[in-house]
Chains A and B, each alone.
Chain A
Amino acid sequence: GAVVSQHPSWVICKSGTSVKIECRSLDFQATTMFWYRQFPKQSLMLMATSNEGSKATYEQGVEKDKFLINHASLTLSTLTVTSAHPEDSSFYICSASGQISNQPQHFGDGTRLSIL
């Protein structure tokens, strides 16, 4: 089946630093990638939708300048958490989908971000 690789799987860093998370589709062209945030024992909260070669579409309440998304190719999207603070600590998950509608998303294994 389709594979999505997310890296790193775990990050611990100091407050004020920026953290980049990569999401790669390994065996298919991902025209659309999604970035989610998940708090403990809660569902996924969609942060933004990114389409290859265009600006990401952010959900209401998500700070665009805080969470920078780049989708430069059909196999790679990145999420950069800029000037991270402890409240940004969370589990971030990416997913990717191809060009056919109504198909399941393929998820990465997630990145646990801890800001000290």
Chain B
Amino acid sequence: GNSVTQMEGPVTLSEEAFLTINCTYTATGYPSLFWYVQYPGEGLQLLLKATKADDKGSNKGFEATYRKETTSFHLEKGSVQVSDSAVYFCALSEDAGKSTFGDGTTLTVKP
């Protein structure tokens, strides 16, 4: 079956530091890949996505590249802000809408 493995947290960074959150996946076919963000007490919001190999998803300074050869979709941001503090979920989808989520990585950015 499908699975998503995320870098364990929590991750604590200083403002303006470089962020990487690793994500690898296993899938039987050719999934679409997503990063979602969850702020405290809220649901999940789509951060970015990539639908095929070598696609790069980007949004709000975050980027992730769909690497088929390494089955990875690592999330990066060059300079994090305090407002980026949240839980980040990597996910894949093959069937219509049904997604497999990683365990989430909690990011705390300190001023």
Interface residues of A (CB under 8 A from B): 1, 4, 6, 31-32, 34, 41-44, 46, 49, 93, 95-110, 112
* Residues of B bordering A, CB below 8 Å: 31-32, 34, 36, 41-46, 49, 51, 89, 93-99, 101-104, 106
Greatest chain B CB density within 10 A among A6, A46, A102 is at A102
B101 CB contacts on chain A under 8 angstroms = 43-44
Given A93-B43, A102-B31, A107-B44, verify A42-B96 contact (CB < 8 Å).
Answer: no
Contact A112–B43 (Cβ < 8 Å) = no
Cα-based distance from A107 to B89 in the complex (angstroms): 13
Contact of A101 among B34, B36, B89, B95 (CB under 8 A): B95
CB-defined contacts of B98 to chain A, threshold 8 Å? 32, 34, 46, 49
Least distance between B95 CB and chain A CB atoms (Å): 7
